[in-house]
């Protein structure tokens, strides 16, 4: 089973800043089957990015994903007030899906 | 717009079976794969398994011996059965649509507590 490690655990940022979130896999993720989700308190996760870098429908272009192999990054340009939330990465490998433990982006 | 809605008991006794349903609107259950995911403070987000109309199923190995996900085309819904529950199964349970390798639509979630 591939284990995903997200860092940092918490990111304290100000609106307008750029946030960079990391997701590292214990093994290479084939075909870049890596997705990112945003979860706000009391809500279900929302798909942001799939295939490491493809934005889901309706996701603003300030959200971008990059990376390959074992190291992946979610970048949020110009943080908006509604972007403060918890972000999870998720991988697919040999019909199994696992999630990271999340990075909380909080207001500084 | 695809919408999913979970339903079922919020309280289950230890050793009993947890049963939840997910009703789908805006899409047919005969397309795509349909999944259950749970979230608890201790384990975070945990994929439980998925099923499809064609009968392709896949379960998390850690839960496989206790889990069944089934599809009811007449009601356009799918369901989760988790047997022999313990306090460790207390979590928010989500249903979601699987698109190949990720989950694009989620239900709002339903909290299930295992307690006597």
Which residues neighbour B80 within 8 Å (Cβ) at sequence distance 6 or greater? B18, B19, B20, B21, B22, B36, B48, B67, B68, B69, B93, B95
In this prediction, residue B42 carries a pLDDT of 87
Q: Give the mean pLDDT of B57-84.
A: 96
The number of beta carbons lying within 10 Å of the beta carbon of residue A12 is 12
Contact call for residues A104 and A83 (beta carbons, < 8 A): no
pLDDT of res. B55: 86
Whether B103 and chain A come into contact, CB under 8 Å, resolves to yes
CB contact, 8 Å: A43 with chain B? yes
Displacement of CA A69 from its chain's centroid (Å):
15
Checking if the pLDDT of B100 tops 90, the result is no
Residues in chain B within 8 Å Cβ distance of A31: 101
Over the stretch A26-81, which tens digit does the pLDDT of each residue have?
999 999 999 999 999 999 999 999 999 999 999 999 999 999 999 999 999 999 99
Residues in chain A within 8 Å Cβ distance of B45: 45, 88, 90, 99, 102
Q: Are B72 and B79 in contact (CB under 8 A)?
A: yes
For B58, name the nearest residue in chain A, comparing CA atoms only: A95
- Which pLDDT score is estimated for A92? 96
């Amino acid at each position: 089973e591939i284990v995903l490690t997200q860092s940092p655990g918490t990111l304290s940022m100000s609106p307008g800043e750029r946030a960079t979130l990391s997701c590292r896999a214990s093994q290479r993720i084939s075909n870049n089957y890596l997705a990112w989700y945003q979860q706000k308190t009391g809500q279900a996760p929302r798909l942001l990015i799939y295939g490491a870098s493809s934005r889901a429908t309706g996701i603003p272009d300030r959200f971008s994903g990059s990376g390959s192999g074992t190291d992946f990054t979610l970048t949020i340009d110009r943080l908006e007030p509604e972007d403060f939330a918890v972000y999870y990465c998720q991988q697919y490998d040999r019909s199994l899906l696992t999630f990271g433990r999340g990075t909380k982006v909080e207001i500084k | 717009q695809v919408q999913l809605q979970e339903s079922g008991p919020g309280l289950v006794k230890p050793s009993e079976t947890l049963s939840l349903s997910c009703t789908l609107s805006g899409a047919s259950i005969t397309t795509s794969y349909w999944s259950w995911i749970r979230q608890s403070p201790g384990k975070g987000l945990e994929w439980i398994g998925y099923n499809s109309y064609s009968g392709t199923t896949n379960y998390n190995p850690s839960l496989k011996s206790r889990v069944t996900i089934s599809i009811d085309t007449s009601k356009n819904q799918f369901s989760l059965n988790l047997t022999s529950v313990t306090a460790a199964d207390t979590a928010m349970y989500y249903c979601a649509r699987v698109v190949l390798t990720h989950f694009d639509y989620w239900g709002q979630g339903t909290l299930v507590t295992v307690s006597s």
